[in-house]
Amino acid sequence: MPELPEVETIKNELAPHIIGHTITGITLFDERIVRQPPVEEFGSRLIGETITEIGRRGKYLLFSLTSGQTLVIHLKMTGSLWLIPPDRFTRAVIHLDGDKKIYFRDPRKFGVMWLVEDKNTVTDKLGPEPLEEGFTAKRLSKALARRTAPIKALLCDQNVIAGIGNMYADEALFLAKIHPMRPGGSLKPAEIKRLYNAIRQVLTAAINDKGASVDTYFRPDGQIGTAHFQFRVAHRRGQSCPVCGTPLQRIPVRNRGSYFCPKCQPEV
């Protein structure tokens, strides 16, 4: 699933090509992609709108329009937005003036779109943005206090922190030397500080590398991101830990596959 670095990359790379352009039409190859409003109204309300800004909240892309409406897109597990025609799996095309197009590619057909008057109706339950100033070690500590759920599950809970998913939770926990099954409330202040720094370090590095193309993620020009080449544990089961050489393991944590080093991340 595209996580914060992938969605941030898409936002950054789409912006210079589409901001200031007007939507002239929309082609839906799968009407289930539209969550709100009804499909007929969705198209009529979009046409004629100019894109004034692109933002991101967690894993959501936010297209601000001249009327004050917001087109919200969630790529879910396998979605990506292209500026060139994809090879296949196109579910929708947003047509812009100047013969520009945004192609919504989504092999597994889970991605969705909303057109809303208030974007908060879609994003209001999200937790803090982990790279913003307001997200501090103290705020992370407060969010984890007295929580009995595994720390891996809490990091992936969008109501706790917005934007982190499997890959970057695994990478951050490895960097912080914390076992994915540790209850969130069991972390000591020093561990929380390490985890806070690790989250920010891992996400920033992944954005610099344009996201991770482990499976179905592509950038708007059809190119891949390279963040996965830097992964220390994520998707590396059976390979050697880059720190101690121990074979990396994969365990289920709340139905999510979690990769870790049993020596560097002992279950205390």
Q: How many domains does the chain have?
A: 2
Q: In terms of domains, do 141 and 256 share one?
A: yes
Q: What is the pLDDT of residues 3-45, one digit of tens each?
A: 999 999 999 999 999 999 999 999 999 999 999 999 999 999 9
Q: pLDDT per residue over 173-230, tens digit each?
A: 999 999 999 999 999 999 999 999 999 999 999 999 999 999 889 999 999 999 999 9
3, 13, 49, 191: the active-site residue: 3
2 assigned to active site = yes
- Mark whether 52 and 142 lie in a shared domain: no
In a shared domain, residues 236 and 168: yes
Pairing of the two strands 70-74 and 256-260: unpaired
CA quadruple 176, 179, 180, 182: dihedral sign: negative
pTM, whole model, 2 decimals? 0.96
Known catalytic membership, residue 31: no
**Domain hosting residue 69, numbered range:** 4-123
Residue in 129, 256, 262, 263 annotated catalytic = 256
**Active-site residue identified among 11, 56, 57, 59:** 59
100 and 10: one domain? yes
Residues 245 and 141 in one domain: yes
